[in-house]
């Protein structure tokens, strides 16, 4: 086509078509100029595939050889291209959860200790510093029969531990360490308002491993569990979690999503097939109450109502228009509850005007009272609400 002079305006004339350059001289080709695939071309393509794979294998082998010989310590030439590791993209919600667990671990770990026990039953466990003057919580079975107790803090410092006292009924013990106070302490929460499905973080010192505490995550998978004990009475009102609790983590901390201690890790479920992935923790309200008794008087005092119970199921609670309750399964003869007229199938909905949403909440509320206290129990019976007055007793050794 004729080119126009920009000063004179466009020039009109017959179009002139120029033959395209040969195919081999162009960056593109018309489909009609491309020959169909041949067996030789397919073979060439396959050859490239093998070459690529071989090249990758070769580079991997070369990298392994370089790493093994220490050649990676050599400076990178300035003219070379360095491929930097790209930070993986994490969904915002998952990143927030991960960051929160990291924060909880950083804040709580300084108060988690490793306990080394020597004597007839040598072993190791964990502990939680809950007072800055050196008092820590652990399990009674961790320090049972100990002739000497050594406590290793998160900073690696080692301290002699003295057993203040223990309570087999709750498997809680108190150990005191001396040193330069104040010690880092864990923030204590409450198990009274726990709900199944809440996030949990378990921190302990499993297997006596050196190098600091171990952190695992999970959820509250059940509440108010009755856990059989190898020796003595079963453990009552336990928190069940699927956060991994390894041997040696006994006496460590179970925390909620706010980073507050809600329980002292105590036991794991084991069957003939091995660990079942379920752990149990004593509610911190009970552990703290027992610890205060031990520090004050040298022994734990257990208030006693004299019932066995379970949580009111969701369907029944909704039908009754209740947020929850504790169903009486059995009443101990000659116990405080029996004397007050409590019966099986009664639903306890309040204690001393404090709402009761579960058996766990009832037990925790009772721990805040003392033997001899007279309190009002609000119960549902045959569709009606009644108030019974009960005088609390002291739990018998086999109660």
Tell me: the pLDDT tens digits for 287-317? 998 999 999 988 888 889 999 888 899 999 9
Q: Can 141 be counted among the known catalytic residues?
A: yes
For residue range 90-148, what is the model confidence (pLDDT) as tens digits? 455 555 677 888 888 889 899 999 999 998 778 889 999 999 999 999 999 999 889 99
Contact 263, 239 (CB under 8 A): yes
pLDDT band at residue 383 under the 50/70/90 scheme:
confident
Active site residue 250: yes
Q: Taking 70 as the threshold, does the pLDDT of residue 395 lie above it?
A: yes
Domain ranges of the chain: 109-177, 199-289, 302-394
Are the beta carbons of 142 and 250 closer than 8 angstroms?
yes
Most confident of 60-69, 203-212, 300-309: 300-309
Q: Is 221 left (phi over 0), alpha (psi -120 to 50) or beta?
A: alpha
| Rounded CA separation 72/74 (Å) | 5
State the average pLDDT over residues 236-254: 86
Q: Do the domains at 109-177 and 199-289 have one common CATH topology? A: yes
Q: What integer pLDDT is reported at residue 80 of this predicted model? A: 45
Q: Does domain 109-177 have CATH number 2.40.10.10?
A: yes
- What pLDDT, on a 0 to 100 scale, did the predictor assign at position 372? 94
Which of 167, 171, 237, 256 is catalytic? The answer is 171
**Mean of the per-residue pLDDT values of the chain:** 77
Mean per-residue pLDDT for 53-79?
Answer: 33
Task: Name residue 330's beta-bridge partners.
Answer: 308
State the pLDDT at residue 364: 76
Asked if pLDDT for residue 209 goes beyond 90, the answer is no
Residue 2: what pLDDT? 43
- Is residue 36 classed as helix, strand or coil in its secondary structure? coil
* pLDDT band for position 230 (cuts 50, 70, 90): low
Q: Among the options 124, 141, 221, 360, which is catalytic?
A: 141
pLDDT of residue 385: 93
- Residue 88, pLDDT > 70, answer no
What is the pLDDT, as a whole number, of residue 33? Answer: 47
CA distance 381 to 343: 9
Q: Using alpha carbons only, what angle is made at residue 52 by residues 48 and 57, rounded to the nearest 5 degrees?
A: 145
Check residue 91 and give its pLDDT. 54
* Per-residue model confidence as pLDDT tens digits over 23-59: 555 444 444 444 444 444 444 433 333 322 223 233 3
pLDDT at residue 267 is higher than 90:
no
**Residue 74, pLDDT above cutoff 80:** no
Active site includes 171?
Answer: yes
Residue with tokens 């003057």: 133
pLDDT of residue 346: 96
CATH 2.30.42.10 fits 302-394, yes or no: yes
pLDDT at 363: 81
Range of weakest confidence among 120-129, 182-191, 266-275, 276-285? 266-275
CB 138 within 8 A of CB 256: no
CATH architecture of 199-289: Beta Barrel (2.40)
Which of 124, 205, 214, 250 is flagged as catalytic? 250
168/98: higher pLDDT: 168
Going by pLDDT thresholds of 50, 70 and 90, the confidence category of residue 232 is low
- The predicted structure's pLDDT at residue 96: 67
Please calculate the CA angle 323-354-317 and round it to the nearest 5 degrees: 15
pLDDT level of residue 375 (50, 70, 90 thresholds): very high
* Helical (H) or strand (E) element with 62: helix 39-69
pLDDT band with cut points at 50, 70 and 90 for residue 21: low
pLDDT at 275 over 60: no
pLDDT for residue 77? 41
The proportion of the chain whose per-residue pLDDT surpasses 70, expressed as a percent, equals 71
- State mean pLDDT over 335-358: 93
């Amino acid at each position: 086509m004729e080119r126009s002079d920009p000063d004179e305006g466009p020039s009109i004339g017959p179009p002139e078509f120029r033959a395209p350059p040969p195919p081999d001289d162009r960056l593109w080709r018309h489909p009609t100029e491309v020959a169909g695939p041949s067996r030789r071309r397919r073979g060439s393509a396959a050859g490239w595939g093998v070459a690529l794979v071989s090249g990758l294998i070769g580079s991997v082998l070369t990298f392994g050889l370089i790493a093994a010989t220490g050649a990676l310590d050599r400076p990178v030439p300035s003219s070379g291209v360095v491929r930097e590791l790209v930070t993986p993209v994490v969904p915002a919600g998952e990143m927030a959860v991960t960051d929160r667990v990291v924060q909880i671990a950083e804040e709580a770990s300084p108060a988690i200790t490793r306990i080394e026990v020597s004597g007839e039953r040598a072993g190791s466990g964990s502990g939680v510093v809950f007072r800055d003057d050196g008092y820590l919580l652990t399990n009674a079975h961790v320090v049972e029969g100990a002739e000497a107790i050594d406590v290793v803090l998160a900073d690696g410092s080692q301290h002699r531990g003295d057993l203040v006292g223990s309570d087999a009924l709750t498997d809680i013990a108190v150990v005191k360490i001396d040193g330069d106070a104040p010690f880092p302490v864990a923030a204590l929460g409450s198990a009274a308002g726990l709900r199944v499905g809440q996030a949990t973080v378990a921190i302990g010192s499993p297997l006596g491993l050196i190098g600091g505490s171990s952190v695992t995550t999970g959820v509250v998978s059940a509440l108010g569990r009755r856990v059989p004990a190898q020796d003595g009475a079963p453990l009552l009102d336990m928190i069940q979690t699927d956060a991994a609790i390894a041997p040696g983590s006994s006496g460590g901390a179970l925390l909620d999503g706010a980073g507050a201690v809600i329980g002292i890790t105590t036991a794991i479920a084991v069957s003939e097939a091995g660990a079942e992935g379920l752990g149990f923790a004593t509610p911190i309200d009970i552990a703290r109450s027992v610890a205060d008794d031990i520090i004050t008087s040298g022994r734990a005092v257990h208030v006693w109502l004299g019932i066995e119970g379970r949580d009111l199921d969701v369907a029944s609670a909704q039908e009754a228009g209740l947020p929850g309750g504790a169903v009486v399964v059995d009443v101990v003869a000659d116990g405080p509850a029996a004397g007050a007229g409590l019966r099986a199938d009664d639903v306890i909905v309040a204690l001393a005007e404090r709402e009761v949403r579960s058996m766990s909440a009832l037990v925790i509320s009772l721990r805040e009272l003392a033997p001899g206290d007279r309190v009002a129990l609000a119960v549902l019976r045959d569709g009606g609400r009644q108030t019974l007055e009960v005088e609390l007793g002291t739990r018998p050794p086999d109660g």
